[in-house]
Structure 1
Amino acid sequence: MSVLKQFADSEVFRAYATYVAVVLLKMMLMSILTSFFRITRKVYANPEDAASISKGGDLKKYVRTDETVERVRRCHLNDIENIVPFVGLGLVYALSNPDLSTALLHFRIFAGSRILHSISYLTPLPQPSRALTFLVGYIVNVSMAYATLRSIFYF
């Protein structure tokens, strides 16, 4: 059996793949949510998008910013800044042959923190809820990086 097939069949990799799918789908949902709020609030980023509804009217009425749309966009950008590193760090962490229960703990805590971060951002819940959920996910990424480096270099 090839090394790649062994890795793909491992429980750690299957757990990694599951939680990557969860957080990537959550991140993709944010783009749909942004589009939903743009359409329902008639707030567009580009004149050509607004032209289809303005019917020769004032495009400036539709090409503007809206606090709700911007809040969803910022939440989406924050996902991109945190989920992309998780995908890469999680992969090298899974390749470092961690204990399944430890890996599951990392993956579950990260996914939960990102879901709670979005809830606290979009609701919006008072601070420090959003900051704490961000910090938890960030610490998980740092922990996976440290564990990977430790397994390679024996810190």
Structure 2
Amino acid sequence: MAVIESEELPYFATYVSIVILKMMLLSPLTSYFRHTRNVFSNQEDMGSLKEKDKKPIFDDPEVERVRRCHRNDLENIVPFFALGLLYALTSGAATTTIVWHYRIFVASRFLHTIAYIGALPQPSRGLSFFVGFFVNVSMAVQIIMNSWNF
């Protein structure tokens, strides 16, 4: 079996693990909000509630805020995972450039989560989203340019 060796792969593994762990922590946070507010979307989850209170609730603002944040993470971290790996393996960029792409993306996702969960005023969430988005675009463009030898 061939082993791919790259100076950047340990950095990639570290930053991807950090951002995935952050994303995974939003699941227990969603559960916390559901349980503290007695807001459940499935009948079987409502065990201890009185029968009259056993109605699925799909529109609690706090639960939905965490769920939207989690969904936004999925929409951005999955592309980062693929692009970050390809960037490390094919871009030809300096290690410091690659690592700074990773760092900026991870920082933007943490700031985005803080802005989203904390309901901070715009443009805080929008700016943090676009910083991460443009990191992904930057990596994609550089991968394409290197692959086609532009």
In structure 2, what is the equivalent of residue 45 of structure 1? 41
Residue 54 of structure 1 aligns to a residue in which SS? coil
The runs of 4+ residues in structure 1 deviating greater than 3 Å are 55-58
Give the superposition deviation at 1:66: 1.1
In structure 2, what is the equivalent of residue 133 of structure 1? 128
Whether 1:71 and 2:65 are equivalent positions in the alignment is: yes
CA displacement, residues 115-155 of structure 1 (integer Å, 9 cap, x when unaligned): 00000111111101100100000000000011111111122
Stretches of structure 1 that go unaligned for 5 or more consecutive residues are none
Q: Is the 8 A contact 1:12 1:98 kept in 2?
A: no
In structure 1, what is the equivalent of residue 49 of structure 2? 54
CA displacement, residues 8-45 of structure 1 (integer Å, 9 cap, x when unaligned): xx330000000000000000001110011101111001
In structure 2, what is the equivalent of residue 27 of structure 1? 23
How far apart, in 2, do the equivalents of 1:109 and 1:40 lie? 34
In structure 1, what is the equivalent of residue 3 of structure 2? 4
CA RMSD of the aligned region, Å?
1.5
In structure 1, what is the equivalent of residue 116 of structure 2? 121
Give the superposition deviation at 1:78: 0.3
Q: Is the 8 A contact 1:45 1:63 kept in 2?
A: yes
In structure 2, what is the equivalent of residue 95 of structure 1? 89
More helix by share: 1
TM-score by length of 2: 0.93
How far apart, in 2, do the equivalents of 1:147 and 1:67 lie? 40
How far apart, in 1, do the equivalents of 2:87 and 2:72 lie? 22
- 1:93/1:48 Cα in 2 relative to 1: closer, same or farther (>3 Å)? same
Stretches of structure 2 that go unaligned for 5 or more consecutive residues are none
How far apart, in 1, do the equivalents of 2:51 and 2:109 lie? 42
